[in-house]
């Protein structure tokens, strides 16, 4: 392992420059206009896997963006690690809020700033470099398969059928994913729970055309006003979601686990300061950490309609729209929640508007085990490189493939993330710490070593 450390030292600059090259590719999966770039990112990843030493790498087409697959099989009797990551990124909008252009990476104060720096290019690429280190130093102790997808940020809609059709190819003992965060650089943690998601769009229609707001205003329902009423009725005074049945399947977390969660270091004042808010807000009866991990939520992600151009236009719009997401917890089913929302939203629509509900995507929540060989190996690897035992913790984001892989491939995941919540993923000025990038590359080979040793017993 010492040789790996000196290999890392000797190649640090190249490792960073390669990541910068990847970050320059605007692989935004949500926006068609970037389609050639998304495909270019797939090519880049494939080539880098080849350079790092896989036996074979291929671009596997799907109905959407391709999956990059690569493998190094040293002995079929040895365990196999399936590395999952994504090469697509979120849209960079609003561009004007970035201090430097999102696809022109800048290294400043120990961080690399770019869209995708942390989510997930920086974290995914650590795996490619850790693999290279093990290959070039002849220390790879088991088989590795890479499955790097290009549609994570748009719901991984084609990955289920890809996994179904490639069960043999993806056969493995554990899925290893770096696409989550830790508590702090000196407080390592491992994610053991993710929330599920139901995402949809609504359309509320009033009159058949935009009207003069003076001539008609006051006599005809304004769909934006109505949509706002409808949305505000979706929470009660305790900030609980009012959709009937919404909480029916929610798995309550035991008192013991809640007490354990409360021990994780968390400072509400720092949290508020970081976000520049005077007061937090959430479901009555739960702490902030609980609200963002073990409780389901409903949020409007975007709302529009009418005139939003420069100056003023006196208009009573014909239509109003909103994008709405619900974060789900274990045992809630994404499809069922979609149906409950749709039925409820149609039911509360007053007679003077028409409403449409259009489902987007969804995914189930996940809880990963802490008593598995893979979890123990990950914890031991972090102990080795951080000098501290990582804290297991649940988080609020979603990675729908975790449950999907469990169902389709029968394999559990380890969420071995090295990012920080302050990395501003999905926001302007996304960053990834160089400390985190190199620490990840340093830590991953220990995971392979311990996982192989502990599996052999
Ligand atoms: N990497 C994130 C998920 C994440 C971030 C989990 C931080 C835990 C901590 C992932 O790329 C993501 O953004 N997922 C989406 C869901 C997807 C279906 C669009 C999300 O959580 O909004
Ligand atoms: Mn991600
Ligand atoms: Mn993301």
Containing domain of residue 230, as a range? 196-250+296-361
Per annotation, catalytic residue among 152, 153, 423, 442: 152
Residue 288 domain flag = no
Q: How many domains does the chain have?
A: 2
Residues 423 and 332 in one domain: no
Q: Is 43 a catalytic residue?
A: no
Ligand nearest to the CA of 115: 3
- Biggest alpha carbon distance in the chain? 81
Residues 69 and 83 in one domain: yes
Residue 70 domain flag = yes
Candidate from 122, 152, 395, 401 with most ligand 1 atoms within 8 A of CB, to mutate: 152
Candidate from 153, 324, 398, 436 with most ligand 1 atoms within 8 A of CB, to mutate: 398
DSSP string, 314-354: -EE-SEEEEEEEEEE-TT--HHHHHHHHHHHHHHT--TTSE
Residues 155 and 182 in one domain: yes
CATH number at residue 335: 3.30.70.360
The pLDDT of residue 237 is 98
Residues in CB range of 64: below 8 A, 6 or more apart: 29, 150, 151, 154, 157, 158
Residue 221 domain flag = yes
Take residue 99 and report the two structure tokens written for it.
């201090």
The pLDDT of residue 261 is 87
Q: Which of 160, 180, 156 is nearest to 170 (CA)?
A: 160
Residues 12 and 30 in one domain: yes
Ligand nearest to the CA of 399: 1
Residues in CB range of 231: below 8 A, 6 or more apart: 300, 303, 322, 324
Residues with CB under 6 A from ligand 1: 119-120, 152-153, 155, 179-181, 194, 197, 361, 363, 395, 397-400, 425
Residues 141 and 184 in one domain: yes
Structural domain ending residue among the three candidates 328, 344, 361: 361
Structural domain ending residue among the three candidates 305, 338, 361: 361
Question: What is the whole-number distance in angstroms between the Cα of residue 86 and the centre of ligand 3?
Answer: 9
Residue 281 domain flag = no
Residues 208 and 333 in one domain: yes
Question: What is the whole-number distance in angstroms between the Cα of residue 118 and the centre of ligand 2?
Answer: 8
Residues 7 and 141 in one domain: yes
Give nearest CA residue, ligand 1 atom 15: 398
Ligand 1 closest atom vs CA 400: 18
Ligand nearest to the CA of 334: 1
Residues 385 and 315 in one domain: no
Ligand 1 closest atom vs CA 156: 18
Residue 262 domain flag = no
Cα(215)–Cα(217) distance, integer angstroms? 6
Ligand 1 closest atom vs CA 361: 18
The pLDDT of residue 251 is 93
β-strand partners of 417:
none
Residue 287 domain flag = no
Residues 15 and 156 in one domain: yes
Residues 232 and 125 in one domain: no
Residues in CB range of 202: below 8 A, 6 or more apart: 227, 321, 322, 324, 345, 355, 356, 357, 358
The pLDDT of residue 369 is 93
Question: What is the whole-number distance in angstroms between the Cα of residue 55 and the centre of ligand 2?
Answer: 27
3-6: list long-range contacts, CB under 8 Å, 24+ apart: 3/137, 3/139, 4/133, 4/134, 4/137, 4/139, 4/442, 4/445, 5/442
Residue 142 domain flag = yes
Take residue 75 and report the two structure tokens written for it.
């002995």
Per annotation, catalytic residue among 37, 88, 153, 423: 88
Structural domain ending residue among the three candidates 361, 383, 406: 361
Residues in CB range of 316: below 8 A, 6 or more apart: 206, 207, 210, 211, 212, 213, 216, 217, 220, 222
- The residue ranges of the chain whose pLDDT is under 70 are none
Grouping H, G, I as helix, E, B as strand and the rest as coil, residue 53 is coil
Cα(446)–Cα(425) distance, integer angstroms? 27
Residues 67 and 109 in one domain: yes
To 5 degrees, how large is the angle CA 96–CA 97–CA 99? 95
Q: Is 343 a catalytic residue?
A: no
Residue 443 domain flag = yes
Burial class (CB in 10 A: 0-12, 13-18, 19+), 80: buried
Question: What is the whole-number distance in angstroms between the Cα of residue 382 and the centre of ligand 2?
Answer: 21
CATH number at residue 372: 3.40.630.10
Residues 186 and 313 in one domain: no
């Amino acid at each position: 392992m010492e040789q790996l450390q000196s290999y890392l030292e000797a190649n640090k600059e190249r490792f960073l420059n390669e990541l910068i090259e990847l970050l320059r590719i605007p692989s935004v999966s949500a926006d068609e206009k970037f389609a050639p770039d998304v495909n270019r990112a797939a090519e880049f990843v494939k080539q880098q896997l080849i350079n790092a030493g896989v036996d074979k790498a291929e671009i596997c087409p799907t109905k959407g963006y391709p999956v990059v697959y690569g493998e190094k099989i040293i002995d079929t009797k040895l365990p196999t690690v399936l590395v999952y990551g994504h090469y697509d990124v979120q849209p960079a909008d609003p561009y004007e809020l970035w201090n430097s252009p999102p696809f022109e990476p800048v290294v400043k104060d120990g961080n690399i700033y770019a869209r995708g720096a942390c989510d997930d290019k920086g974290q995914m690429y650590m795996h490619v470099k850790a693999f290279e280190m093990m290959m070039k130093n002849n220390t790879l102790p088991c088989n590795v398969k890479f499955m790097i997808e290009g549609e994570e940020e748009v719901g991984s809609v084609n990955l289920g059928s890809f996994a179904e059709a490639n069960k043999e190819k993806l056969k493995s003992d554990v899925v290893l994913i770096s696409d989550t965060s830790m508590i702090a650089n000196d407080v390592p943690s491992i994610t053991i729970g993710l929330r599920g998601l139901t995402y949809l769009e609504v359309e509320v229609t009033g009159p058949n055309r935009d009207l003069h707001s003076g001539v008609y205003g006051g006599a005809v329902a304004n769909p934006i006003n109505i949509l706002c009423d409808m949305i505000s009725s979706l929470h009660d005074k305790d900030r609980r979601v009012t959709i009937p049945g919404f909480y029916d399947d929610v798995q309550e977390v035991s008192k013991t686990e809640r007490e354990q969660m409360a021990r994780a270091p968390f400072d509400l004042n720092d949290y508020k300061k970081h976000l520049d808010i005077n007061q937090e807000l959430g479901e009555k009866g739960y702490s902030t950490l609980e609200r963002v991990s073990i409780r389901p939520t409903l949020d409007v992600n975007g709302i529009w309609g009418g005139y939003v151009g420069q100056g003023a236009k006196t208009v009573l719009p014909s239509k109003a729209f909103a994008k709405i997401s619900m974060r789900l917890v274990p045992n809630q089913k994404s499809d069922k929640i979609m149906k409950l929302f749709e039925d409820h939203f149609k039911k509360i629509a007053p007679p003077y508007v028409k409403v449409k509900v259009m489902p987007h995507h969804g995914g189930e929540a996940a809880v990963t085990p802490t008593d598995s060989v893979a979890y123990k190996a990950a914890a031991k690897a972090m102990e080795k490189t951080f000098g501290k035992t990582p804290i297991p913790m649940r988080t609020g984001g979603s990675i729908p493939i975790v449950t999907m892989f469990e169902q389709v491939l029968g394999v559990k995941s380890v969420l071995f993330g090295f990012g920080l919540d302050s990395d501003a993923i999905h926001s302007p000025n996304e960053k990834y710490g160089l400390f985190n990038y190199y620490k990840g590359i340093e830590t991953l080979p220990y995971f392979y070593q311990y996982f192989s040793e502990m599996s052999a017993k």
